[in-house]
Structure 1
Amino acid sequence: MGFVPLVEEYRGEALENVHYGAISVVDENGKVLYAAGDPHHQTFLRSAAKPFQAIPVLKRRVDELYGLSGKETALFAASHRGETFHIEALESILRKTGIVEENLYCGPAYPLNEAARAERLRAHESKRRIFHNCSGKHSGLIALCKHMGWDEETYYMPDHPLQKEIVATLAAIAEVPESSISLGVDGCGLPIFAIPLDKIAYAYMKLACPDRIEDAETAAAAAKMARLMNEYPDMIADTRFVCSALLKDPNLTAKGGAKGVYGIGLRRERIGISLKVSDGSEQVWPCIIGSILERLGYANQATIDRLYEVVPNEIYNDGGTLVGYRRPVYEWNAK
């Protein structure tokens, strides 16, 4: 599958785990600059697709139509962790749009944030659809269907006009034929797409640098979504997660997805980065992303430091004793 060792984890001085995967770094023309493993590995975007799934919503200015705040609109691209401020914003979206929570196709869940989940359990609350980390995306898509007069009950079907437009949008931005995009079903029930890893990096470069998107309306919608992600980083994940840590840097646009996929665009440098951890681990994202930025000579050390605060390369046991470490081990191949 073109995967190579990316990260080694040691307990004491003995090797305990190896995380394999692939990395692709591209320039503003989509040319692969650096790679580890196969930079063209066909990869499902999972939640890294959310900013692109939101573009049709913002092209129709659905946020303005329903009077949504920037904080609320940011949830269209979020994998929120269900903290109180997320749920309050989601409930506001439902009120403003007239969407009934039960019509969200994502399944009922408890918040992903441990403290938020514990709070709901202590209150003996049941699972809810807006607790699901994808509920912001679903809310935006249903709101678009309401505006367009499209069927709201089948918005998750691959042949729905909404889903067809999403696929066409991603194909145009990533510059891949629609026929080459592999389709699957995401954890929240919506169609999800697999494209080559370098094309994910290219799409994220364009999200950061929307002047590279040919269609003016699509470019404007992408620019707005990316701006909102930076303005409200804690809405995209939570107060302590990789996505929010990266998005606090106004030079970056970034979003991760399930099973170890991640996309990043750098505005000043006009490059895109994507990676896939083959075992699906998210815990090693900071180690990999931090090392990529370091190898690129990234100027904002505070961003790299924030990543290592989320998950340090040092490994501690439950009592706080240092027991091991993780380190990046991939070879950086210039293309």
Structure 2
Amino acid sequence: MTRGKRHSAPKIEVHLLREGIIESTHFVEATVSDDRGRVLSVAGSSETTAFVRSALKPFQALAVIATGTLERYDLNDKDLAIICSSHQGNVEQARQVFNVLWRADIDPSALQCPIPEGSNSPLQHNCSGKHSGMLAICQQRNWPLNTYLRRSSPVQQLILGKIAELLGMPGDELIGAHDDCGAPTYSMKLGQMAHLYAQLASGNSLDLERILRSMTYYPTMVAGEGSFDTELMRLTEGELVSKSGAEGIQCIGRVGEGMGLAIKVVDGSKRAKSAVALHLLRQMGWLSPSVAETLGEQFMILSNYKRLEVIGDLSML
């Protein structure tokens, strides 16, 4: 990542309009980087830090490939997609998580993610795919299953090493904390998040290429029907890879061009990040007019009385 120079520009605003009158305002920062870590354009500051949350999952999944766990347990791209997912907990998705565990000879009771309210199994938790991948690695390496969420555990140290390698920095410089599911996540600059997604989309790494392929081939595994990530990847037919995170995080890669976009809504709003993503994707020419219109109707028009309006753009550097 480019160091020694601070990149900043005005933040983007998202207005919630009720019958055309502003009711609420969200402020948003965004960064576009290339696969060498060079910041290309910004809104706000590329050095703004935030927890990457679930947008980290495709890179946590790298350890599944690097250890040979996929081959050892005969896991396929659909399994890899659920390992990268923040899924809805429907029957098909929960069964896919179960398949990962079953092939690795792991009982679902080993999952340490919470049981969602109104559900009866941790398989239905939106992070269960990520957890199943971590457990499968532990099983393959004969590491303890009951400590896989500890930051000191070998599987988490392996994952941290893979992420640090992509960012070109020592792993101990990344500030970690536990995500809501219990697994570690990390605080990063927006430029670093964009750099990761630029690398994911670049085609320069066989391991990242397989993760990319799994996500774009099986978008309903990554999120679910009606979810932003799924709809964006499905409608763009493999041209974009997308993964959201909680608290207003959205990351997108332009496949084959080595460019990544990272978005952070200051107040953590989910509705605002989707609106800004569409606005910026249109600005950069990453969406066709027809796809932009279809997604805009779904994610920017909230009801007969409410819609979202985005004010501001990326500034080129």
The reply to whether TM is greater than 0.5 is yes
Could you tell me how far 1:178 is from its partner in structure 2? 2.2
Aligned partners of 1:6 and 1:22 also within 8 Å: no
1:328 paired residue number: 310
Q: How does 1:158-307 map to 2 (within 5 A)?
A: 158-211=151-204, 219-248=205-234, 249=236, 250-298=238-286, 300-307=288-295
- Partners of 2:243 and 2:187 in 1: how far apart? 16
Q: Specify every segment of 5 or more residues in structure 2 that has no aligned partner in the other structure, as ranges.
A: 1-7
Aligned partners of 2:203 and 2:256 also within 8 Å: no
1:118 paired residue number: none
Q: Secondary structure at the match of 1:64?
A: helix
- Partners of 1:268 and 1:191 in 2: how far apart? 30
Q: Specify every segment of 5 or more residues in structure 1 that has no aligned partner in the other structure, as ranges.
A: 111-120, 212-218, 317-321
Instruction: Give the counterpart letter for 2:131 in structure 1.
Output: H
Instruction: Give the counterpart letter for 1:333 in structure 2.
Output: S
Could you tell me how far 1:15 is from its partner in structure 2? 1.2
1:319 paired residue number: none
- Partners of 1:140 and 1:10 in 2: how far apart? 42
Aligned partners of 1:23 and 1:36 also within 8 Å: yes
Equivalent residue in structure 1 for 2:127, among 125, 131, 134: 134
> How many residues are paired up?
308
Could you tell me how far 1:227 is from its partner in structure 2? 0.5
Equivalent residue in structure 1 for 2:71, among 64, 74, 94: 64
- For normalisation by structure 1, the TM-score amounts to 0.87
Give percent identity, aligned residues only: 28
Q: Secondary structure at the match of 2:24?
A: strand
Aligned partners of 1:5 and 1:18 also within 8 Å: no
1:7 paired residue number: 14
Aligned partners of 2:250 and 2:277 also within 8 Å: no
- Partners of 2:201 and 2:36 in 1: how far apart? 13
Instruction: Give the counterpart letter for 1:232 in structure 2.
Output: Y
Aligned partners of 2:248 and 2:268 also within 8 Å: yes
- Note if 1:314 corresponds to 2:307: no
Could you tell me how far 1:234 is from its partner in structure 2? 0.2
Aligned partners of 1:245 and 1:303 also within 8 Å: no
- Partners of 2:215 and 2:277 in 1: how far apart? 18
Aligned partners of 2:202 and 2:257 also within 8 Å: no
- For normalisation by structure 2, the TM-score amounts to 0.91
- Partners of 1:21 and 1:103 in 2: how far apart? 38
Q: Secondary structure at the match of 2:247?
A: helix
Q: Secondary structure at the match of 1:30?
A: coil
Could you tell me how far 1:333 is from its partner in structure 2? 1.7
- Note if 1:46 corresponds to 2:53: yes
- Partners of 2:47 and 2:82 in 1: how far apart? 30
